[in-house]
Structure 1
Amino acid sequence: MNIQHNTINFTQTHYQPISLSRHEKLSEYLTVQNSPVLFGCRTGICGTCLVLVQGDIPPPSEEEKEILEIFAPGNQQARLACQIDLINDIEIKTYAG
């Protein structure tokens, strides 16, 4: 079975890109040692992992949209890293709203 891997690049940081299998949960693999993304609740309600994403990923759920409207109103690139369904290579930048 051929498992597709996707690369996560952390733009504007010194962190090296990492490669994960398609549909992996970023919150299970990103740590303070390998990424600039911090996680609090890991369930999409605290907003700690708010990032800007470039790349093709599925749209946010209704629950994620509600949180994004609180923490990054109107920003179409803003996403919660813990909620991203990894299906393609992406670039992540920390959110400095």
Structure 2
Amino acid sequence: MSNKKYLVGFPETNFSSLALEQNAQLSEYLTVQNSPLLFGCRTGICGTCLVEVEGDIIPPSSEEREVLEVLAPGNKKARLACQIKLTGDLKISTLNS
């Protein structure tokens, strides 16, 4: 079984792209040293890690979708980084609330 890796990039920042294994949970690998993202609760309810994502990932769960409807209504690229499992290359930008 191959350990497929995908790139996670942070456009318009000084952070380098990271190569992470398929299905990696971003909240387990991203830190203040290697990404511009901050994580609060890590359970998908606080909204600290609200981001815009470009790339192929699985759709949000119904619980995540409820939070996104409050924090970023109408933004189809909005996601909670703590809930993302890596299934393809991504570009992630922070969202200023």
Does TM, normalized by the shorter one, top 0.5?
Answer: yes
**Runs of 4+ with >3 A deviation:** none
Q: CA offset at residue 11 of structure 1?
A: 0.7
Q: Tell me what 1:74 maps to.
A: 74
**What does 1:21-60 align with in structure 2 at a 5 Å threshold?**
21-60=21-60
Q: TM-score, normalised by structure 2?
A: 0.97
Structure 2, unpaired ranges of 5+: none
Letter matched to residue 69 of structure 2: E
State the alpha-carbon separation in 2 of the partners of residues 85 and 62 from structure 1: 15
Q: CA offset at residue 95 of structure 1?
A: 0.5
Q: Tell me what 1:63 maps to.
A: 63
Q: CA offset at residue 96 of structure 1?
A: 1.8
State the alpha-carbon separation in 1 of the partners of residues 12 and 78 from structure 2: 16
Aligned positions, number: 97
Equivalent residue of 2:27, what SS? helix
Structure 1, unpaired ranges of 5+: none
Q: Tell me what 2:15 maps to.
A: 15
Q: TM-score, normalised by structure 1?
A: 0.97
State the alpha-carbon separation in 2 of the partners of residues 85 and 15 from structure 1: 20
Q: State, as a whole percentage, how many aligned pairs show the same letter.
A: 58
State the alpha-carbon separation in 1 of the partners of residues 2 and 53 from structure 2: 26
State the alpha-carbon separation in 2 of the partners of residues 64 and 81 from structure 1: 10
Letter matched to residue 21 of structure 2: S
Letter matched to residue 26 of structure 1: L
Q: CA offset at residue 85 of structure 1?
A: 1.8
